[in-house]
Amino acid sequence: MTRTFISEIKGLDRKEVILKGWIHKIKSFKDFAFVMLRDKTGVVQLIVEDEDLLKELKLEMSVEVKGRVEENTKAPGGVEVKADKITIIGKSYYELLPFSINGRDINASLEKQLDYRTISLRRLDRRAVFRVQEEIIEAFRTYLKNNKFSEIHTPKIIATETEGGSEVFTVNYFGRRTFLAQSPQFYKQMMVGAGFERVFEIGHAYRAELHNTWRHLNEYVSLDVEMGFIEDENDLMDLEEGFVKYLFKHLNNTCKKELEMCGVNLAKVDDIPRINLLEAQEILLKEYGKKSPVGNIDAEGEALFSQYVKEKYNSDFVFLTKYPASKRPVYTMPDDKLEGMTKSFDLIYKGLEITTGGQRIHDYEMLKDNMIKFGCNPDDFDYYLESFKYGMPPHGGFAIGLERITMKILDLDNIREATLLPRDINRVTP
């Protein structure tokens, strides 16, 4: 017989099965015991009558079980397995578990859970986060492929800084100073010009930010998009709005169990409001007495403005548009109607920025002049600028932080809960 997963035994009444998994819980009685077996798909109740075997079983051992499926309305899930044979295939050597695996919750700090990440992830509710995250990626890839996008994979060791500033990690590359990529920005633009027209990438990005907050990571997964032959930034917001609508529908179809486990109800997404930054700043000042920094709104402002949008538009999402050129990277297209502003946007979701995007400068001379204006030496970016000499079309894109959107979809308190193995200013293990 081949292995059967626990999620597959419903409807196999009186059939012989082989199950494999971990001992989740043991509840002993006089002549038998209920042993809960857990695999990646769920938990099932075993009936075990072998007293000698029961003495050998220990929580979190991995075992192989041969037995017969029996329907029982009183059993969890309405089915149980009468175990004929249990073979221990992975012994446990611990004296005491670092925290409870089978309780209603883990009675341990987040830091301790991360120290023992492979143990905390044995809980179904903790793994549910990454099942949802897996489907976010699947939806992203499917939606874009359905819209004629090509998936690409770009280098993460690069010769020049992409976003500028000091927030980069340096790498000694055979005696040459290089950097870990802050984003695939230059390369995805180059691939638009190379003829792919529409590209996306799912890859790691690195920011050497000295932040230790609930929303910052130094290594994260970026969902990047770049699209050629656009009219303006509204084409990009249309694309992302379509993705968000598709994503929520996809998650409701594929992750119903996980969403319920996390206590989340994903409502249908309607059209996302688009409000320019200056108007948002005025609203914050008028409605909440909140002053904003020049050319931006801070974290408190994002939360307050999201509250306003929720009350006025009944939307958890809002596009903030028209950021000043001084607050955007060198390649951002200036706005031709609002002097000093750019054709750029952020997507705010439940009070947190999850996306930055906009139209890019596609004209070679204009981009070169803008680099000089920003204090950059165009010669340092010759490999990038070269692709703009050969008819680069109008284009733009955006990037979504995977861990951020996961955190907000599931209403988690800390971005590390949405990160398999976090890297922050204090943590490089496990």
Rounded distance, CA 366 to CA 226, Å? Answer: 20
Q: What is the pLDDT of residues 19-61, one digit of tens each?
A: 999 999 999 998 899 999 999 999 999 999 999 999 999 999 9
Give the pTM. 0.95
CA angle at 256 for the pair 244 and 37, rounded to the nearest 5°: 140
**pLDDT value, residue 1:** 80
- Whole-angstrom Cα distance, residue 114 to residue 419? 10
One domain, residues 178 and 228: yes
How crowded is the C-beta side of 81, counted as CA atoms within 13 Å?
32
Q: What is the pLDDT of residue 166?
A: 64
291: enclosing H helix or E strand: none
Task: Give residue-wise pLDDT tens across range 302-349.
Answer: 999 999 999 999 999 999 999 999 999 999 999 999 999 999 999 999
CB 331 within 8 A of CB 185: yes
Q: Verify that 66 and 130 share a domain, yes or no.
A: no
Length of the chain: 430
Q: Same domain, yes or no, for 18 and 158?
A: no
- In-domain check, residue 223: yes
Q: Are residues 51 and 183 in the same domain?
A: no
> Residues 137, 274: one domain?
yes
Backbone angles phi, psi at 326, to 5 degrees: -70, -15
User: Is residue 116 a part of any domain in this protein?
Assistant: no
Tell me, yes or no, whether 298 lies in a domain: yes
62 and 136 fall within a common domain: no
Same domain? For 47 and 170 the reply is no
Q: CATH number of the domain that 375 lies in? A: 3.30.930.10
Q: Which amino acid is at 373?
A: K
Query: Smallest Cα–Cα separation from 362: which of 317, 323, 332, 339?
Result: 332
The answer to whether the beta carbons of residues 374 and 330 sit under 8 Å apart is yes
- Which residues, 6 or more positions from 333, have their beta carbon under 8 angstroms from its beta carbon? 233, 342, 343, 344, 358, 359, 360, 361, 362, 396
CATH number for the domain spanning 83: value is 2.40.50.140
Question: In this structure, are 176 and 270 located in the same domain?
Answer: yes
Residue 148 lies in a domain: yes
The parts of the chain modelled with pLDDT lower than 50 are none
Same domain for 143 and 228? yes
User: Domain range spanning residue 222?
Assistant: 124-418
The verdict on residue 104 lying in a domain is no
430 preceded by a cis bond (ω within 30 of 0) = yes
Q: Determine the 3-state secondary structure of 303 from DSSP.
A: helix
Residues 30, 279: Cα–Cα separation, whole Å:
72
| Token pair in block for residue 252 | 């409701």
- Which of 304, 307, 309, 274 has its CA nearest to residue 292? 304
CA angle 244/250/253 to nearest 5° reads: 145
In a domain? residue 137:
yes
Cα distance between residue 99 and residue 108, in whole Å = 7
Domains identified in the chain, total number: 2
- 351 in the same domain as 283: yes
Looking at the fold, whether 47 and 154 belong to one and the same domain comes out as no
DSSP assignments along 67-118, one per residue: EEEEE-TTSGGGEEEEEEEEEEEE----SS-SS-SSSSS--S-HHHHHHTHH
- CA quadruple 160, 163, 168, 169: dihedral sign: negative
The last residue of a domain, from among 71, 90, 109: 90
Q: Are residues 262 and 357 in the same domain?
A: yes
> What's the CA gap between 386 and 282, in Å, rounded?
42
